[in-house]
Amino acid sequence: MIKDMVLSEKVGVKDMKSARIQEIFFRFTQMFVLITLGLTGSYSAKCKEGMWVPTMLKTREADMLREGLQIPTEMLYNETGTGLNNAVVLFGKGCTGEIISDKGLVLTNHHCGYGSAQRLSSPDKDYFAYGFWAMHNDEELPCPGLTVTIVRKLIDVTADVLGGIADTASDKLRDSIASKRILDLEAKYRKNYATDAMVKPYYQGNKYWMILSDTYSDIRLVGFPPNGIGAFGGDDENWVWPRHTGDFSMFRIYAGKDNKPAPYAKENKPFKADKFLEIKVSGYKKGDFTLVYGFPGTTNEYTYSGELKQVVEITDPIAIAARTAKLGVWQRHMTADRSIFLKYTSKYAGVANGWKKWQGEIKGLKDADAVGHKKDFENTFDAWAQQQTKNKVYMSLISRMEKATAPTDSIVYADQLQRETVTGIEIVQIAAIADKILGCMRTNLTDSAFTDTVKKIGDELAGFYKNYDAPTDKDVFAALMKMYFAASPTYVSPQIKDALQNAGGNVQAWGDKIYRTSVLPYTEKMATMLKSLRKSDSAWITGDPAWKIFIALQRATKSTIAPQLSEYAKEMKYLRRLYMEGQMEMAGDKTLYPDANLTLRVAYGKVGGIQAGKSKKQGIYQTTLGDVVALDDSTKASFKVPQKLKELYRSKDFGRWAEGGEVPVAFTASNHTTGGNSGSPVLDSRGRLIGLNFDRAFEGTMSDYWFSEKVCRNIAVDIRYVLFITERFGGCGRLIDEMKLIED
């Protein structure tokens, strides 16, 4: 029946007849394609790789049918407003969510809602320790600054952006013309469609799509499990499999009287969603088709081997080492003081996430010899380039990229070291804001304009100070500055060297003096200073020891690192575009998926465990609540199971969410995902929600650069665990009542 196919939607008789005709036609087409392909065809690794723009799905339909898709791709995306794209949302600035009721209820990851929960938490309202559940709509908490974006339509505007630009045009001229055309197009589409309109580049700027969307800014927190569920396992389990984390949270979109985006207002009503996901509660089995819909952030699948080598040998190792030091300091202070924990927990999670991921990325890339595979492909490309006669520029591409990349190792090293050490210190980040104030002092702003600007900067700083602790930052300063001076003396700023020597050459003593004499780490002092600040009061900034570090670093960067990196980036931007263009031509009739760029994409694969190695984890593709309880450890904060959850397990009070006497918690599948896919819906063959994507397996994090069928797995929370925690643990059955549950 139509209601079982993809989504709950409000349809009239005419729409239902149209959908029925579409379904009958699809079934006939599906049968024909399957017969043509053969039902016993082998399962290609490449079929699981890729993050496809929804408008491309028609080119993938035959392959998706063979893998198990049971609905037409037009139901996943179309331009009539009835596609699945209307139920998948960009949550905030870098996560995905999905609408799961006609009242605008949004499901996303716990870690995606972490920042909002932190801003709403306080020592007497500690949502990380106890969770949060709104028992009525009027208890749902506004989240200032949080947005949810729904993509309505995607339009290929490549011809409008690039048409008529000569192949011989310089990159500077090409970009200038394209940028002007993009601004004009966005203005035109905003006016004609009365929606947000944004043009994004794909394939290294070889293609462009217009994205029409609606962005809602009145978003309210509805449900947030405590860390003992939503962040269970902590860093130990992050980026690994098996996982035992209930990584979910719930929010609600509120809209104005016309159901359109509106700023927060008490009288706003829950968003009326014509399209929302049905939820399948009867589970899945190994080998079942799955589909992930969401907003993957950044991948570099087509990168040159020399750049990938720098990732493996330079940028990732430096970031890991620096963040190991920073996280160690933060952890020590957070453990000693709960108020420090509340200030730093969201920042800690963000820093630790990349830190652990890059470790898996290096291991995966090395184990797979990804750099070697890239070189092999480049040899193949070069051979093809020499034979083709259409575009002679391809013939020298590989040698030109090698020539551009080879001399840059030392400058890439120095740049990454500065970014992860000196600019990773929060007092230096505050100094950068102080430098903005100094810049205002040196302009022709009127007194009133200057006062307004300083007030805005002060408001920005107030938000920063809410989650800042000077003694903690002072210890980070000592740890990271020691690393900075030890690792790259060639690129250390002479002024910073002199400052250290003037402090006796002792980094710890130097840090003590800076944090004792600088005004920047102290919110009350800064607030008082900014309140009566005049344009002539620049001495307090130029005399501040933290600002002196910032400006010394800026000068050193501008004189040494920046010019070389700028030339390198300029050359590689041009060469990457040509290399991508060449790869697309070399592929012929085969469609290549574009790298992720935080736009709507579809990936598909199958439920299953990891195949690589001799690990006992090979056969495991699902974990259960029993596994969670077995890991309970009262001596380790990240493995403390909430008492109520243990009681529910002991009483076997699972309700309708059990399978085989257990509540499923998490599962793995072979969908190609990356950052930004956090919170993405994992759908079954008919588009029903079965899980919530939140992670990847350790070595499989290399999939941002190199996809391997054996180790690349996405990890999802089972939707039944989400519902079990919401109803039985959170006592918020009212939310379940909003949803449409499907048993088969």
Give the β-pairing of 196-202 and 105-108.
unpaired
Catalytic residue among 678, 680, 685, 703: 678
Task: Check residue 424 and report its DSSP letter.
Answer: G
427-437: b or e for each residue (b if 16 or more CB lie within 10 Å)?
bbbbbebbbeb
Q: Which residues contact 536 (CB under 8 A, 6 or more apart)?
A: 441
Give the β-pairing of 218-224 and 132-133.
antiparallel
Is 72:78 a contact under the CB 8 Å cutoff? no
Catalytic residue among 111, 244, 333, 672: 111
Look up residue 666 and give its two tokens: 């998490």
Is 697:239 a contact under the CB 8 Å cutoff? yes
3-state secondary structure (DSSP) of residue 667: strand
For residue 342, what are the CA distances in angstroms to 47, 95, 163, 221, 330? 44, 22, 53, 18, 12
* Closest among 154, 157, 153, 219 to 183, alpha carbons compared: 157
Q: How many helices (H) and strands (E) does the chain have?
A: 27, 22
Place of tokens 């349809």: 11
Separation CA 281–CA 689 (nearest Å): 9
Look up residue 699 and give its two tokens: 């070595």
Give the β-pairing of 289-294 and 95-99.
unpaired
3-state secondary structure (DSSP) of residue 253: strand
Separation CA 472–CA 332 (nearest Å): 9
For residue 618, what are the CA distances in angstroms to 44, 368, 611, 703? 19, 18, 5, 19
Cα torsion through 383, 384, 390, 392, rounded to 10: -30
Cβ neighbours, 10 Å, residue 559? 10
According to the 3-state scheme, what is the secondary structure of 456-524? Answer: HHHHHHHHHHHCCCHHHHHHHHHHHHHHHHHHCHHHCCHHHHHHHHHCCCCHHHHHHHHHHHCCCCCHH
Burial (CB < 10 A; 0-12, 13-18, 19+), residue 261, is: buried
For residue 690, what are the CA distances in angstroms to 228, 472, 723, 724? 23, 42, 11, 13
Look up residue 596 and give its two tokens: 């992720």
**Is 244 an annotated catalytic residue?**
no
**Is 672 an annotated catalytic residue?**
no
How many CA atoms are closer than 13 Å to the CA of 365, on its beta-carbon side? 25
587-612: b or e for each residue (b if 16 or more CB lie within 10 Å)?
eeeeeebbbbbbbbbbbbbbbbbbeb
Give φ, ψ of 581 to 5 degrees.
Answer: -60, -45
**Is 512 an annotated catalytic residue?**
no
For residue 416, what are the CA distances in angstroms to 90, 327, 562? 30, 18, 12
Catalytic residue among 196, 214, 247, 595: 247
* Closest among 702, 719, 720 to 711, alpha carbons compared: 702
Separation CA 499–CA 469 (nearest Å): 24
* Closest among 463, 245, 521 to 347, alpha carbons compared: 463
For residue 466, what are the CA distances in angstroms to 74, 339, 340, 453, 527? 47, 11, 11, 20, 13
Separation CA 134–CA 272 (nearest Å): 19
Q: How far apart are the first and last CA of the chain?
A: 12
Residues forming the active site: 111, 247, 678
